Amino acid sequence: MTAENYQTVEERAALGKSLRKQTPRSSHGDWSPVADRPDPINLIEEQNNGRLEWLVPVRRWRMCASPFAFFRGSARTMAADLASTPVSGLTVQLCGDAHLANFGLYASPERQLVFDINDFDETLAGPWEWDIKRLAASFMIAARHNGLKKKQGRNVTRRMVKHYRKAMTEFADMRTTDIWYAMLDQEEFLDTADKEGREDEAEEITDKAMKKDNLRALQKHAEEVDGQFRIKHEPPDLVPLRDLSDALSRNQLQELVDYAFDTYRHSVTDDIEHLLDRFRPVDIALKVVGVSSVGNRCLILLLAGRDRNDPLFLQIKQATSSVLEQYLNFSPYQNHGQRVVEGQRLMQAVSDIFLGWNENEITGNHFYWRQLHDWKGSIDVDDVNANDLKYLARLCGWTLARAHARSGGPVAIAGYLGSSDSFDEALVEFAERYADQNQKDYDAFMERINSGRLTAVEG
């Protein structure tokens, strides 16, 4: 039981409000890089140590696409920058990489579409301000990337922070279990879209998401060879392991896959382990995903159930230490895959039933597992207008507040935020300053690419 459990609601609210004296809300807007700021490109390049060397140039290529793409790949840089920023002292479970593109739709176990945070590679306990600042900066950078005017960028960023603040006030008034049950489902997703004049766009996203199932994944990622399905060879994005190693026979490779699958099975609940017993591994491949994760070992595993029309695709992602650990406390979990899974379960309203983890006993690498395609839907951040961002500001602000309210003290955080727009305005100032710095970092990154000091390869 935490100390907060012994405090009345009034005492918790008073605590939050009192923290404004030591950390004024306006202080969050006053940001500039510290004098001894680490070289941001070096921080990014250091992350490539231990990654698959042939994919590192692909990672750089994907970060070259735009200042927003660069921002997606520079969570470590921002963690270093946030380490010197003011905080209230209130702790939550952080996403650690709460940018706009890491929110989206997926299917709940009850077969309902829900909108939530969907990436937790960097999750760790820490100051709630760090997540909201990264999210605010991402809105400002996305607005600039899509050609919005300065005022529009400020407005959508302000709107997101305002919805975070107002949602936290709502959660502060809720019973604890009601916070736990709160979610943004398909009906609310569409209702919000209707209020924002984005109903057509929202319906298109949900319809597209619900078509992404295991049969669709089978059509996209596999082909039939001698009466059996095998994962396609489409380098560099998709490379079956059988095409990567001449040293391993087919039987040896199958033994490795079977062993990894078996150790993963022991990390899930008994009922899901029973479900997984009805599937057998068929094929496995390396799959390049995202921006920041490129170069880490990411695989997809094809499993077969009752017949050829009963496939299951699982994604297996390497989990390394969170970029936040250098500046905050270390994870309580020895396996970083478990760190990701437990953080995800704590922050999401509902989670994938196939979440689990394992460790490669030969290499010592940690992995977490989840379903690959299960009604996944996302927003194309490269093609959004002011109205799209206003809609997303409402969704993302509420969702991040809900995630923080589950793991932290919503009454104290709401007490700190208050009912005025002081924090909102401060975060707009922070986001503008950080977007400026991100542009400078991106330009420095591109200079090293264009000069040949760093190699980038399309992929």
- Residue-wise DSSP of 190-239: HHHHHHTT-HHHHHHHHHHHHT-SHHHHHHHHEEEETTEEEE--BTTTEE
pLDDT at 2 over 60: no
Count of domains observed in the chain: 2
Answer for the pair 250, 226: CB distance below 8 angstroms, yes or no: no
Say if 44 falls within a structural domain.
Answer: yes
Neighbour-count burial for 204-231, b at 16+ CB within 10 Å, e otherwise: ebbeebbebbbeebbeebbeeeeeebbb
Nearest C-alpha neighbor of 107 from the set 118, 95, 91, 94:
118
**Radius of gyration, alpha carbons of the chain:** 22
Say if 459 falls within a structural domain.
Answer: no
216 Cβ neighbours under 8 A, 6+ residues apart: 373
Helix locations, 291-385, DSSP H:
336-347
Give pLDDT, residue 246: 60
Residues 25 and 141 in one domain: yes
- pTM for the model: 0.95
Residues 169 and 34 in one domain: yes
Say if 359 falls within a structural domain.
Answer: yes
Say if 336 falls within a structural domain.
Answer: yes
Residues 55 and 187 in one domain: yes
Residues 392 and 243 in one domain: no
Residues 272 and 354 in one domain: yes
321, 340, 371: which is the final residue of a domain? 371
Residues 140 and 72 in one domain: yes
Give pLDDT, residue 262: 94
- For 414, half-sphere exposure in the C-beta direction (CA atoms, 13 angstrom radius) is 21
Say if 190 falls within a structural domain.
Answer: yes
349, 371, 393: which is the final residue of a domain? 371
Q: Where are the beta strands (DSSP E) in 207-352?
A: 222-225, 228-231, 238-240, 280-287, 298-304, 311-319
Residues 268 and 120 in one domain: no
Residues 38 and 124 in one domain: yes
316, 340, 371: which is the final residue of a domain? 371
Say if 162 falls within a structural domain.
Answer: yes
Amino acid (1-letter code) at residue 280 = R
Mean of pLDDT values over 266-275: 96
Residues 22 and 141 in one domain: yes
Mean of pLDDT values over 309-336: 95
Rounded to whole angstroms, the Cα distance separating 136 from 156 reads 9
Q: First CA to last CA across the chain, in angstroms? A: 49
Q: pLDDT tens, 172-212?
A: 999 999 999 999 999 999 999 999 999 998 999 999 999 99
Q: pLDDT tens, 101-156?
A: 999 999 999 999 999 999 999 999 999 999 999 999 999 999 999 999 999 999 99
Residues 292 and 399 in one domain: no
The boundaries of the domain holding residue 288 are 214-371
Residues 108 and 226 in one domain: no
Amino acid (1-letter code) at residue 25 = R
Q: How many residues does the chain have?
A: 459
Answer for the pair 386, 148: CB distance below 8 angstroms, yes or no: yes
Say if 376 falls within a structural domain.
Answer: no
Q: Which pLDDT band, with edges at 50, 70 and 90, does 379 fall under? A: confident
Residues 54 and 134 in one domain: yes
Say if 326 falls within a structural domain.
Answer: yes
